A = this chain, B = another copy of it.
Amino acid sequence: MKLSTKGRYAVTAMMDLAIHDRDGPVTLADISNCQGISLSYLEQLFARLRQSGLVEGVRGPGGGYRLGKPSQQISVSDIIVAVDESIDNTRCKGNKDCNKGEKCLTHHLWNDLSERLYEFLDGISLAEFIKDPEVRKISRRQDSTASRIANMFPPRSKAS
């Protein structure tokens, strides 16, 4: 279990999808503008998310990405595991056979901790976030057609 800005980008992008789930697909250009992440980098992240079945892409105009399954079934762990590579954290995987005895003891303890952390984040689903009162406000403000049209004239700050 690793947690870096890369994972944060993926999680916040997925939150975005969850928030607008009923408004139809969200384009990466939107997320890029809204969250200040480069478009191509997002594409790389979403390639992974797609491979893991967490999102599905819709091609062509009006397309974008939408969640690959209900937000209740997508956990924070799922997202992080999808984008961060495996990390193979100790060689011996906590089997404590990598250097007989003490050397591996701390690896074993670390693996226990890592496992607890994973389970903790696995217990938090995307669905929890869209229940946030702030989210409901935003979400209500944008009916699907309005947001669709708005998406066609994005603010275009400077994020390519």
Q: Residues of A with Cβ closer than 8 Å to B?
A: 1-5, 8, 11-13, 15-16, 19, 34-36, 76, 87, 89, 96, 101-103, 105-110, 112-113, 116-117, 120-121, 124, 129, 132, 134-135, 138
Question: Can you sample 8 A-B contacts with CB below 8 Å?
Answer: A4-B4, A8-B89, A15-B109, A102-B138, A105-B135, A109-B129, A112-B129, A120-B120
* Cβ–Cβ contact B8 & A110, under 8 A: yes
Residues on the B chain within 8 Å of A1, using CB: 3
Residues on the B chain within 8 Å of A76, using CB: 113
* Cβ–Cβ contact A132 & B109, under 8 A: yes
Residues on the B chain within 8 Å of A117, using CB: 3, 120-121
